[in-house]
Amino acid sequence: MSFINEERLVEQFLELVKIDSETKHEGKIANYLKDKFLSLGLKVEEDNAKEATGFGANNLICTLDGNSHTGDGIFFSAHMDTVVPGKNIKPMIKDGYITSDGTTILGADDKAAIAIMIEIIHILKEQNANYGNVQFLISVGEESGLVGAKAIDTSLIKAKHGYVVDSDGEVGNIVVQAPYQMKIFTEIFGKSAHAGVAPVKGISAINVAAKAISKLKLGRIDKETTANIGYFKGGKETNIVCDYVEVLAEARSLQKDKVTKVVNEFKQTFDQVAKSNEATASVDITEVYPGFQLDKTDVVVSKAIEAAEICHLKPTLLKSGGGSDANIFNGFGFPTANLAVGYENIHTKKERIAIKNMVDLTEFVFKIIQLHVN
- List, for residues 339-354, the tens digit of each pLDDT value: 999 999 999 999 999 9
The DSSP secondary structure of 306-356, one letter per residue, reads: HHHHHTT---EEEE-SS--HHHHHHHTT--EEEEE--EESTTSTT-EEEHH
Considering the domain boundaries, does residue 145 fall inside one? Answer: yes
Q: How many domains are contained in the chain?
A: 2
Contact of 336 with 290, CB cutoff 8 Å: no
pLDDT in tens, 23-56: 999 999 999 999 999 999 999 999 999 999 999 9
* 117 assigned to some structural domain: yes
In a domain, 123, yes or no: yes
Average pLDDT over residues 105-118: 98
* Residue at 274 is within a domain: yes
* Residue 91 shares a structural domain with residue 138: yes
pLDDT at residue 71 is higher than 90 = no
Q: Domain boundary at 254, 289, 324, which?
A: 289
User: Looking at the structure, do residues 174 and 60 belong to the same domain, yes or no?
Assistant: yes
In this predicted structure, the answer to whether residue 3 has a pLDDT above a threshold of 90 is no
Domain range for 192 is 182-289
**What would the pLDDT profile of 307-320 be if each residue is shown by its tens digit?**
999 999 999 999 99
Is there a single domain that holds both residue 154 and residue 33?
yes
Assess if residue 337 is contained within a domain: yes
Q: Which of 262, 289, 316 is the last residue of a domain?
A: 289
Q: pLDDT at position 68, please?
A: 79
Q: Is 217 left (phi over 0), alpha (psi -120 to 50) or beta?
A: beta
Q: What is the mean pLDDT of residues 255-272?
A: 98
Mark whether 240 and 360 lie in a shared domain: no
Q: Kindly report the CATH number assigned to the domain that includes residue 203.
A: 3.30.70.360
| Domain assignment of residue 52, yes or no | yes
Give SS3 for 87: coil
3-state secondary structure 237-288: CCCECCCEEEEEEEEEECCHHHHHHHHHHHHHHHHHHHHHCCCEEEEEEEEE
Rg of the chain's alpha carbons, rounded to an integer?
24
Looking at 259, 289, 319, the residue that finishes a domain is 289
Q: What is the C-alpha to C-alpha distance for residues 264 and 112, in angstroms, rounded to an integer?
A: 40
Distance of CA 327 to the CA centre of its chain: 8
Mean pLDDT within 176-200: 98
pLDDT at 72 over 80: no
Q: How far is CA 316 from CA 26, 74, 90, 177, in A?
A: 33, 21, 33, 12
What is the rounded average pLDDT of the residues 272-292?
98
Residue 369 pLDDT grade (very low, low, confident, very high; cuts 50, 70, 90): very high
Contacts of 21 (CB under 8 A, 6+ apart): 28, 29, 56, 80, 81, 82, 86, 107
Could you give the CA distance from residue 71 to residue 33 in angstroms, rounded to a whole number? 27
Whether 142 sits among the annotated catalytic residues: the reply is yes
- Tell whether 116 and 39 lie within a shared domain: yes
374 has a pLDDT exceeding 90 = no
Residue 1 included in any domain: no
- DSSP category for residue 128: T
Are both 170 and 188 inside the same structural domain?
no
Does residue 159 sit in the same domain as residue 228?
no
pLDDT for position 70: 63
pLDDT at 1 over 80: no
Residue 20 among the catalytic residues = no
Same domain, 20 and 151: yes
Q: Do 227 and 264 fall within a single domain?
A: yes
* pLDDT-derived band at 334, boundaries 50, 70, 90: very high
Question: Residue 188 has what pLDDT?
Answer: 98
Average per-residue pLDDT in the chain? 97
Active-site residue, from 109, 142, 250, 360? 142
pLDDT of residue 130: 87
For residue 248, what are the contacts with CB-CB under 8 A and spacing of at least 6?
Answer: 183, 184, 185, 186, 229, 230, 231
CATH of the domain at 11: 3.40.630.10
**What's the pLDDT at 2?**
72
Q: Are residues 37 and 120 in the same domain?
A: yes
- Whether 150 is in a domain gets the answer yes
Average pLDDT of span 276-283: 98
Helix, strand counts (H, E) of the chain: 10, 18
Percent over 90 (pLDDT), the chain: 96
On whether both 155 and 285 belong to a single domain, the answer is no
Question: Is the same domain home to 195 and 302?
Answer: no
81, 166, 344, 351: which one is catalytic?
81
* 185 DSSP β-pair partners: 248, 284
Sign of the torsion formed by the C-alpha atoms of 320, 148, 157 and 365: negative
Banded pLDDT at 220 (limits 50, 70, 90): very high
